[in-house]
Amino acid sequence: MTFSSISRMAFSPEAAWPDLERVDSTAVKTFSFLVVPLSLLPPAMIFWAGSHHGDAFVEGLSSKPWALIAAIFFLCEIVSVSSMGWLIKQVAHVWKVQVSYRNAYILAAIAAIPLWVSSLGLFVASMAFNIALSIVALIFSFALLLQGVRSFCKINEYNIDVALAITRLVFGAGLGAWGFMLLLLII
C-alpha cells in the first residue's frame, strides 16, 4: 500500500479497498506493521516540538515533561485504534450490515493514517498551520472511513445513508477520543 493508493481510497470504495480484503493479513499483523510504527510518529513529534519550540505555541510549554506526555499519548493511540475497530464492528451490526473484525480493525488503522501523518506539521512552529493541517487530516480521515465502510460492509450507492450513519457515529466517537488526547497535551 502506498500513499497514492491511500489518497485514492478516500474517494472510492473500489480503490484498493477490495485488494485489502484479499490480502492475507491478521489484525495482529496490521497492528504490528502499520499501527505501532505510525503511532510512534505523533508522540515523537510531540516530544520534539514541545522540547524545541513549545514556547512558540504557549508560554512555559517547553518545560513540561514531554517524554512522559509522549508515552501516554502513544498508549492512548493504541487503545483508541483498538477501540475504533471494535466500535466499527458493533455499529455496523446495529445497522444490520456485516464486517469482519479483521476488516474493522484494518479500517480503523487506515482511517487514522492522515492524523498520524499530520503530526509532521509540528515541525512548523505555527498554531494556525497545525490547526489547518489537523482539519484537513480529519476530513481525509472521515472520507477514508466512509469509503472503507462502503467497501467492507458492501454498501452500494443506493444505501449511502447507512454508510453515512455508521461513519458519523464512529467518527464522532473517534473525534471525542482525539479531543481527549489533545486535552492531555494541554493539561
pLDDT digits (tens, 9 = 90+) for 148-159: 999 999 998 888
Average confidence score pLDDT of the chain: 88
**23 SS3 class:** coil
Count of domains forming the chain: 1
Average pLDDT over residues 5-31: 80
Nearest to 185 by CA among 55, 65, 56: 65
Instruction: Tell me which residue range forms the domain holding 97.
Output: 26-54+62-186
Would residue 136 count as lying in a domain?
A: yes
Model pTM score = 0.89
Would residue 10 count as lying in a domain?
A: no
Residues 109 and 34: beta-carbon distance below 8 Å:
yes
DSSP designation for 62: G
Would residue 43 count as lying in a domain?
A: yes
Would residue 67 count as lying in a domain?
A: yes
Q: What is the pLDDT of residues 121-167, one digit of tens each?
A: 999 988 899 999 999 999 999 999 999 999 999 998 888 999 999 99
